[in-house]
């Protein structure tokens, strides 16, 4: 995909176009609004973000301002900017609805700051934000170019709080891309008409401006990869409940086979505390707890001890943070995998509906 629509009912970059289908590269940037408390100032900022997103995702030539002016573009992508599958999805953090802008009454009903969960070791430098922008594209230079363009046009209005870049593997050798623990990740995502029904907020109790939006969870999860590489394949597979080579559930033969928990009530084949069984017990009562995961790998180099600082940018979309993400997260609290992963940052955000057309801007219903 070379271009994704910028206008419409929902922002692009969430369900693109299939549930585990995503561009190969991402940059996730959380910002704080630093321009004061003016509501008009916030609206100007959202208009600017909309204009930049609209222009960058469409691609094309930037104006030539002449040799004595600061150039309109960095030219990182050359003079004719390709869209390159870029999506720019903007989300709002709970703090945007604090006293500063007088928007408390318009806050999405279920939006709050991400709480710490047991086994988290959260670093304030990697947490929350007034806004979160997720850039996704087919190449890292397109992500860089878009982040730099946004930085340039929003200077003085927003200040980056944290930023992480990620990538997703091509099929190796087939099917869904693999995470850095070597397992296919995204296999059991809801597909077809199920996905929109679990993701988009259409709830009369939510503010009118928020209809068609979605709640986004970002969890920055370090993987202790050196430690993981010393674990037997058998133990790795029982932790997930799937085969590492094919991605098949332990009671199946190919990646997309559905596990049959009714036939295995005691967990002799797929352990009761395996990741997939805890995450989705596949009962009637837990069906509405499913979510769309759209995660990426990150690599931040090495830590002070020379260990690889790499892991998972877990990103999930849902209608209801408590009914979906938090319920599943609570079930996963003591899963065996926790010895090999270390959540350190992220946040909760509300991704509003897209700008309807060229005359509209993101979050216009707030004002």
Smallest gap from residue 70 Cβ to ligand HEM (A): 43
- Least separation in angstroms between residue 240's CB and ligand HEM is 5
* DSSP H or E stretch at residue 199: helix 194-199
Distance from C-alpha of 149 to C-alpha of 142, rounded to nearest angstrom: 11
CB of 117 to ligand HEM, least distance (A): 9
Nearer to ligand HEM, 214 or 329 (CB): 329
Rounded Cα distance between 199 and 195, Å, is 6
> Shortest Cβ distance from residue 276 to ligand HEM (Å)?
4
Contact residues: ligand HEM, CB under 6 A: 179, 181, 183-188, 219, 221, 223, 240, 242, 275-276, 279-280, 293, 312, 314, 325, 328-329, 332, 341
User: Which of 342, 362, 268, 324 is closest to 118 using CA atoms?
Assistant: 342
| 149 or 320: CB nearest ligand HEM | 320
- Residue 332 Cβ vs ligand HEM, minimum distance, rounded to whole Å: 5
Non-local CB neighbours of 304 within 8 Å, separated by 6+ positions: none
Nearer CB in complex with ligand HEM: 50/324: 324
Query: Which residue's CB is nearer to ligand HEM, number 85 or number 186?
Result: 186
Residues 27, 163 contacting (CB under 8 angstroms) = yes
Tokens 């609805």 identify what position?
A: 97
Which residue lies nearer to ligand HEM by CB, 137 or 276? 276
Rounded to a whole number of angstroms, the minimum distance from the CB of residue 278 to ligand HEM is: 9
State the CB neighbour count (10 A cutoff) for residue 266.
Answer: 7
Q: Cβ 275 to ligand HEM, closest distance in Å? A: 5
Burial of 28 (0-12, 13-18, 19+ CB in 10 A): buried
Nearest-angstrom CA–CA distance, 337 and 236: 9
Minimal distance in Å, beta carbon 204 to ligand HEM? 27
Q: How far apart are the C-alpha atoms of 197 and 71, rounded to whole Å?
A: 45
CA distance 202 to 153: 33
Instruction: Please measure the distance between the N-terminal and C-terminal CA atoms of the chain and give it in whole angstroms.
Output: 34
Task: For residue 252, list its beta bridge partners.
Answer: none
Residue whose CB is less far from ligand HEM, 279 or 351: 279
User: Which of 52, 290 has the CB closer to ligand HEM?
Assistant: 290
Inter-residue contact 148 to 34 (CB < 8 Å): no
Give Cβ neighbours of residue 92 (< 8 Å, ≥ 6 apart): 108, 111, 130, 131, 132, 349, 350, 351, 352, 363
User: Which sign does the torsion angle of CA 216, 320, 214, 291 carry?
Assistant: positive
Pairing mode, if any, of strands 60-61 and 80-81?
A: antiparallel
Q: Is 146 left (phi over 0), alpha (psi -120 to 50) or beta?
A: alpha
Please, what is the minimum distance in Å from the beta carbon of residue 366 to ligand HEM? 29
Q: With respect to ligand HEM, which residue has the nearer C-beta, 117 or 367?
A: 117
Residue with smaller CB distance to ligand HEM, 145 or 222: 222
CB of 11 to ligand HEM, least distance (A): 22
């Amino acid at each position: 995909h070379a271009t994704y629509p910028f206008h419409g009912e929902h922002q692009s970059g969430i369900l693109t176009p299939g549930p585990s289908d995503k561009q190969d590269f991402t940059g996730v940037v959380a910002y704080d609004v630093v321009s004061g408390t003016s509501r008009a100032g916030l609206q100007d900022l959202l208009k600017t973000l909309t204009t930049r997103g609209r222009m960058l995702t469409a691609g094309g030539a930037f104006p030539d301002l002449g040799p004595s002016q600061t150039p309109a573009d960095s030219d990182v992508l050359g003079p004719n900017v390709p869209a390159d599958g870029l999506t720019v999805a903007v989300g709002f953090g709970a703090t945007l609805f604090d006293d500063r802008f007088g928007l408390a009454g318009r806050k999405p009903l279920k939006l709050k700051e991400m709480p710490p969960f047991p086994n988290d070791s959260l670093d304030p430098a990697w947490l929350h934000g007034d806004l979160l922008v997720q850039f996704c594209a087919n190449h890292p230079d397109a992500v860089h170019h878009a982040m730099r363009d946004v930085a340039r046009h929003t200077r003085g209005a927003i200040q980056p709080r944290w930023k992480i870049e990620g990538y997703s593997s091509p099929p190796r050798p087939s099917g869904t891309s693999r995470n850095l623990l070597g397992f296919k990740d995204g296999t059991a995502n809801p597909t077809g008409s199920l996905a929109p029904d679990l993701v988009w907020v259409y709830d009369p109790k939510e503010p009118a401006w928020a209809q068609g939006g979605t709640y986004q969870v970002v969890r920055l999860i370090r993987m202790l990869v050196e430690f993981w590489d010393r674990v037997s394949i058998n133990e790795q597979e029982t932790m997930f409940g799937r085969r590492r080579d094919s991605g098949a559930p332990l009671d199946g033969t190919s990646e997309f086979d559905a596990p049959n928990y009714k036939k295995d009530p005691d967990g002799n084949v797929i352990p009761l505390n395996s990741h997939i069984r805890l995450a989705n017990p596949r009962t009637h009562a837990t069906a509405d707890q499913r979510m769309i995961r759209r995660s990426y790998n990150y690599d931040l180099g090495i830590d002070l001890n020379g260990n690889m600082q790499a892991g998972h940018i877990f990103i999930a979309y849902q209608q209801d943070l408590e009914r979906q993400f938090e319920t599943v997260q609570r079930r996963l609290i003591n899963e065996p995998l926790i010895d090999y992963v270390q959540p350190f940052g992220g946040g909760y955000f509300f991704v509003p509906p897209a700008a309807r057309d060229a005359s509209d801007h993101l979050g216009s219903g707030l004002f």
